[in-house]
Every structure is written in C-alpha cells, then in structure tokens.
Amino acid sequence: MTQQRKINRRQFLATVGAAMSAPYFIPSGVLAAEGKPGANERLTVALIGSGGRGRSLINEIRRSKIGERVQCIAYCDVDEKRLADAVKWEQRWAKRSIAAYRDYRYVLERKDIDAVVIGTPDHWHAVQTVHSAECGKHIYVEKPACCTIQEGKAMVRAAKENKVAVQVGSQGRSQPEAYLSHRYLVNGNIGHIDKVWCFHYNSPVDNNPVPDGDPPPELDWDMWLGPLRWRSYNKKYHHGVFRWIMGSGGGQIRDRGAHVMSCAKWWMGADDTGPVTIEATGTSPPKGLWDSAVTMHVTYTFKNPDWVLIWDQHTGNAPPAEERKKGEARIVRPGYGAVYHGSKGTFTHWGGDGGTWAERKAREWVPPAGAKDVYKSPGHMEDWFKGITTGAKTIMNTEAAVGVANLCILGNLSFILGRKLHWDQAKQEIVGDEEARRLMSRPQRHPYHL
C-alpha cells in the first residue's frame, strides 16, 4: 500500500481560514447584546466529528430554545474535505471565522470552549468523552455510549469525578410522544408489564465486497481508526457503514437498539437495574467485510421486578404503522419500535429516536385526578443545557446511557459466543464465564486510549 499523503497541520488549517496561531475568540458570552443572554447563561461549543450527523446536532442546537445561548466556534474532523465543508457551512450561519482542527486534543486544550458535541463513529465515543471530561468540558455525545463494558465504566467515572454534564444522543426520551407513552404506562393503563418486545429489521449484508486499498488523501486513516486495532483501509469500513462492523459499530442492536431499549428502560423505571441473564441467537452474514448479525433474537431477563426485554431483529415482523389523522405527526419510520405487554393489554410505539410515535390510546388518554406525572423533557438539547447550568441530572446521563449500551454489548457477546451470559448489575460484570469476562474490554492503540 502506498504511503498516505501527510499534510502539515498548520497548512491545512490555513486552507479553511483558521490557523492555530490565530488569537482565540472572545470567551463565551463576555459581551452580551441587548436582549441576549449574558455571560453566565451562554455556552461556547466545539463539534468533534463534522460529518452529516455532527452537523445535524449543531442544527438541532441552533433550532432549539437554547439556540441563541450557544455559539459554535470550532470544528474538528479527520477528513479534511468534510472539515472544510463544515467550516464553510458554519460560516454561512455565523458570518465569522471558525477554528478548524484535525486532532480533537487541540480542541480540548482551549480554555474558551465550555462544551463539546461529539458526532464521531461509535468506537471513538468513550475515549473522547473521557478525555473531554478530564479537560472539564461538558459533553453531548452520540449514542451508543460505548463499545465495551470497560469503556462504560470509565465514562461514568470520568463524568462523576470531573462534575461535567453529559447528555447521550438517545433523544427518543425527549420526544413529545415519548412523554405521553411514559405517563400512560406508569399509570397502569395496561396493568403490570412483564414483557417488552422490541422489533427491528435485519442488518445489511455486504453483497459486493471490495479489496483493501489506499485511503483517500484527505483522510487521516490512522486517526480515524483511533483506539481500534490497525487494519488496511477499505471503503466498506468507514463513513456511515462502520455500523455493520462489530468492532466499530455492532449492527442494528447497537444503532437502533440503543434508541428503542433506551425508551424501555426509562419507561419501565429500570435505569438503575440490569438483566440477570442474556441469551442471543441469530444469523451471521455469508460474505463480505461486515460481520454484525443479520438477524438476531436476544432475551434479557430482569428480576425484582420480573420482566423480560426482547430484541427481535428480523425483517417483516413489525406491526403495521398506525393510521394518523390529518395534522397529526406522521410515522415515517414504522419498521422498528416496541410492544409493551401488560396484564390488562398492550401498548405499541414506533421509532424511538428523533421520531417516537405513540399509539393513539396513549396520546388521547386524559389523566384523571391523582394520576402520576413523569418528567417532561424540554427537549434533548435543552435538557443538556439545564444539566450544565443547574447541575440537574440529564435525561440520558452517563449511567443511564452506559446501562443501555451494556444491553447492546451483552447481546452481541452472547451471539458471538453462542451461549447464555449471566450479569452482575452491582459489579457491572459478567459472572461465571471467564472467556466472556475477557471480552468486557479490548486493547486500545496508543495514543488513542483511555
């Protein structure tokens, strides 16, 4: 393989109009315009991972109720084309110069940055979250929180020790119809719930594999891999499609399962609990680079209270989408969601991320006098901002997010090993299976490690 073209960092930054030697911007909110938030109410952020999802997160902040209080002053990406495009895109909004970096560690050195938004691939989430917390930055990081049990423990510890507000991007908890679903269920409308069945379609198969080759000159392949073991570049491995690789993604269970099972744990009041057993079956892809399960069935058994959570990944098993009336939010992703089975009936929702659609009976239910209420998120970004400014626990805080990520990790480990696993929630460890225990962590490459 030919040597990847190296680019002088200062030369690269100059191409997007923001050399490292330039003076820092005025610290966040020092000068407040009339009628605008003042210094103690403003937040200066940087985006790490400026691809499509990263920019969507900045847009979500801009459109939110806290939009005027937040200023994005720096972008970071290992792909220089994406980075240059992102900086130009931001400048159209901001009408000012934007700092650009290829290495996120330079972002974390800046004292004038209050918080980071992390939109990088899954295998970077934990490392960048821990490093950001150690530098005192508040953090919004995309789901899933982590790729290993060890990473999750490190994230929880770093957030707690450094007293930073972390919001993980399972935004399904903050959707308006999620609130209605939660309220409907906790008031016993379907009775005691003993099963939550999460449905989803198959992971894709790499039917047209291509050979390894040279990375494109604009991509820092070594840094894209980061903590992962070294391997040669393959276009079926990175932007977007990393999700279908066990090491960097983990398939549908880690992509959408992190959304649907997040809602389940929240609505069931199970954030502080975990399963006692995990048992998975499924089918592996017949060929190609992608190695995540194509079909998958995982049963998580919880005790005290007793209930089961099922991840059922199989095309064609989704309940039909509910018919919506004119003016109602349309269900645009009906292929996944969950059915809650109770002693007095069932309840279905579709989606579970930025689109969470509740069955009509939950949307139209009128709480009687004395009914229980539940937390109503002001919006996922707004909830994060509240956590930063007040110290309140965010709706998808580190502990909760790691708990959901652990479900995904354990499901994949059971599938890989082909046997039932036993989990100790208090110790956050697999028990009684030494081979499985060794898979709770994995080596990380220097210097991209915890």
Give the pLDDT score at 94.
Answer: 79
End-of-domain residue from the set 171, 193, 226: 171
> How much is the pLDDT for 253?
97
Range of the domain at 117: 9-171
In eight-state DSSP terms, residue 278 is E
Total count of domains within the chain: 2
pLDDT value of position 93: 79
Nearest alpha-carbon partner for 104 in 123, 132, 130: 132
And the tokens for 235? 């276009």
Which residues on neighbouring strands pair with residue 296, listed in sequence order?
282, 313
The verdict on 82 and 142 lying in the same domain is: yes
| Mean pLDDT, contiguous 10-residue spans, the chain (450 residues) | 37 38 33 40 92 92 92 96 93 85 97 97 98 98 97 98 97 97 98 98 95 97 97 93 94 96 98 98 96 98 97 95 94 95 98 94 98 98 96 98 98 98 98 98 95
- Amino acid, single-letter form, for residue 361: K
Q: Which amino acid is at 429?
A: E
Do 201 and 298 lie in one domain? The reply is yes
**Is the CB of residue 96 less than 8 Å from the CB of residue 87?**
no
Specify the residue for token string 């902040």: 61
> Is 388 within the bounds of a domain?
no
Q: Is residue 447 part of a domain?
A: no
User: Where is 345: in which H helix or E strand?
Assistant: strand 345-351
CA R_g for the chain? 22
SS3 state of residue 211: coil
Report the alpha-carbon angle 200-203-205, nearest 5: 155
Q: 278 pairs with which residues across the strands?
A: 300, 421
Predicted structure pTM score: 0.90
Instruction: Point out the domain boundary residue: 142, 171, 200.
Output: 171
User: Do the domain assignments include residue 225?
Assistant: yes
Q: Are residues 142 and 193 in the same domain?
A: no
Please check whether residue 389 lies inside any domain of the structure: no
| 177 and 60 assigned to the same domain | no
Q: What is the pLDDT of residue 354?
A: 85
Q: Round to whole Å and give the CA distance between 299 and 351.
A: 20
